[in-house]
Amino acid sequence: MSDMCRYRTLLKKALTGRGTICECSGVTCPDGAENSTCVTEPGGYCFVAVEMVIDERGEEVLERTAGCLPPDESGFMQCKSSQVPTINPKAIDCCMEPDLCNRRLEPRLPEEAWSEPDSPDVRSHAPNHPELLVGAALLLLLLTFAVALLVLLRRRRRAAKRPPSPAPLPAELSSGSGSGLPLLVQRTVAKQIQMVESIGKGRYGEVWLARWRGERVAVKVFFTTEEASWFREIEIYQTVLMRHENILGFIAADIKGTGSWTQMLLITDYYENGSLYDYLQTTVLDPHSLVSMAYSIASGLAHLHMDIFGTKGKPAIAHRDIKSKNILVKRNGQCAIADFGLAVRYVAERNEVDIAPNTRAGTRRYMAPEVLADRLDPGDFEAFKMADMYSLGLVLWEMCRRCAAGERAPVDAYAPPYHELVPPEPTFEDMRVAVVERGLRPPLPARWLQSAPRAALAAVVAECWHANPPVRLSAVRVKKTLARHLAAPAPAKLV
């Protein structure tokens, strides 16, 4: 299968989590099929085949079958089998979208396969010399063949010049559950996007500011080697009830490309303040904005971690790469969590963690001690949430450093966690020795404890990065604690 084809299959799978519903008939229907329908595997085909067969009375009849074909090469080849000569005249047509698309397929047998019913008109004008008839038929056949060959050659030449169209997404009218636009619209969005400038580079892709219908959007273009992260991110954004004010707003996903290259795209809301990491380099926070910003991150994480029961419920999700570069700052100073390439979901019915099918590891500097010590049980979903809470503690610490308690109060320059304890590009071993063996954590200066909101946040930080995971606060607990400080009257100065 070509790259484009594979990406298309992946995209469809990520967006819908299922294949296409097709009409089926008789033996092509699976056992217990409902309403004569079957469902393809993601990326599979619906087909209709017509075949000229001889019935029990010895008469030629046209037999129609419909059903599902697999997404792989064998399905593809069967769709193309009309071009292969068969004993019985046969034709097949396939489609990939939308559901039940094969209801409108009408494969046509090659003209010569039809034995026209005798019509008196035609007969009266037919010449009486059989040799002439045979000659004319041969000539006609030759002509048809030459024309078909010409058309085929032309099509091929045109196809070689034309860039492939964007991936066909299932044309459902509503995305139903996921957080993006309806799937049909997602496809249109990608076509209408104009890239403006590159605004960020992560490990897994490049993020661009782009325009869509006059509005600014962010487009994350994944490196071709990072197909798994792209796939995972779409899957996570398509999760039921993902939309939340403190989670990056997902708009659409698509693929773009020509024959020789393919780009995997993720289109989201654009936040001009960039990441929290960028923001903290230049911005000093007053105590109130410090706590309200921290509250917004805890709200986003609490929503992510939460499972909502019911048929339209939301599975719990752990992020696994919480850090200031993966948190964005909105215009109103609130934050949104981004970059779900490494996230895992908890499948409650099966009591199972659906581990991301990629080998990507989190960011060393933010790895929890149990991750560094290789003691995290990947089958235990709670363990992933607790590791997120450790990383959140470090992010909150980065924010505390950039808080000025008063107009003329001193403020530290931005620093990443453990900046004094490990080299600038720490190895896994550097981190393991500092965090696990020596049990070190970034400093919490006494000065921070002098003003109420920052003192409260510092206490939260210490409880988040506890060496013993079950002792750490949960995201909901952090949210509730901070809410109390937001509701409190103007921050009391203790100095």
Distance CA 141, CA 96 (A): 33
The one segment of 137-145, 310-318, 337-345, 417-425 that binds ligand ADP by CB under 6 A: 337-345
Contacts of 30 (CB under 8 A, 6+ apart): 24, 38
> Which residues, 291 to 330, sit near Mg ion by CB under 5 A?
326
Contact 336, 270 (CB under 8 A): no
Q: How far is the CB of 341 from ligand ADP (least distance, A)?
A: 5
Between 169 and 276, CB nearer to ligand ADP? 276
The one segment of 103-111, 149-157, 168-176, 195-203 that binds ligand ADP by CB under 6 A: 195-203
Report the C-alpha dihedral over residues 94, 96, 99, 100, rounded to 10 degrees: 0
* Residue 168 touching ligand ADP (CB under 6 A): no
Q: How far is the CB of 341 from Mg ion (least distance, A)?
A: 7
Beta-strand relationship, 37-39 and 45-54: unpaired
Q: How far is the CB of 266 from Mg ion (least distance, A)?
A: 12
Q: How far is the CB of 330 from Mg ion (least distance, A)?
A: 17
Beta-strand relationship, 37-39 and 352-354: unpaired
- The DSSP bridge partners found for residue 94 are 47
Q: H/E element holding 369?
A: helix 369-372
Contact 26, 48 (CB under 8 A): no
Residues that bind ligand ADP (rule: CB under 6 A) add up to a total of 23
Q: How far is the CB of 264 from ligand ADP (least distance, A)?
A: 12
Answer for which of 186, 292, 299, 326 binds ligand ADP (CB under 6 A) is: 326
> Which residues, 202 to 231, sit near ligand ADP by CB under 6 A?
202-205, 207, 218, 220
What value, to the nearest 5°, has the Cα angle with vertex 355 and ends 352 and 361? 145
| Chain Cα centroid distance, residue 238 | 7
> Which residues, 177 to 216, sit near Mg ion by CB under 5 A?
202
The one segment of 41-49, 303-311, 320-328, 391-399 that binds ligand ADP by CB under 6 A: 320-328
Residues in the chain: 495
Answer for which of 208, 212, 270, 381 binds ligand ADP (CB under 6 A) is: 270
Half-sphere exposure for 483 (CA within 13 Å, toward CB): 8
Distance CA 377, CA 121 (A): 83
Reduce the DSSP state of residue 155 to 3 states and report it.
helix
Which of ligand ADP, Mg ion, none interacts with 205 (beta carbon under 5 to 8 A by kind)? ligand ADP
Contact 362, 342 (CB under 8 A): yes
Between 175 and 326, CB nearer to Mg ion? 326
Which of ligand ADP, Mg ion, none interacts with 230 (beta carbon under 5 to 8 A by kind)? none
Of 111, 67, 115, residue with least CA distance to 92 = 67
Q: How far is the CB of 292 from ligand ADP (least distance, A)?
A: 20
* Residue 339 touching Mg ion (CB under 5 A): yes
* Residue 257 touching ligand ADP (CB under 6 A): no
The one segment of 48-56, 156-164, 338-346, 458-466 that binds ligand ADP by CB under 6 A: 338-346
Q: Which of 93, 99, 254, 321 is catalytic?
A: 321
Distance CA 335, CA 301 (A): 11
* Residue 460 touching ligand ADP (CB under 6 A): no
Distance CA 109, CA 50 (A): 7
Q: How far is the CB of 248 from ligand ADP (least distance, A)?
A: 6
Q: Catalytic site residue 377?
A: no
* Residue 341 touching ligand ADP (CB under 6 A): yes
What value, to the nearest 5°, has the Cα angle with vertex 207 and ends 272 and 303? 70
Q: Where are the alpha helices (DSSP H) in 346-432?
A: 369-372, 381-401, 428-431
Binding region for ligand ADP (CB under 6 A) = 199-200, 202-205, 207, 218, 220, 248, 268-271, 274-275, 278, 325-326, 328, 338-339, 341
Binding region for Mg ion (CB under 5 A) = 202, 326, 339
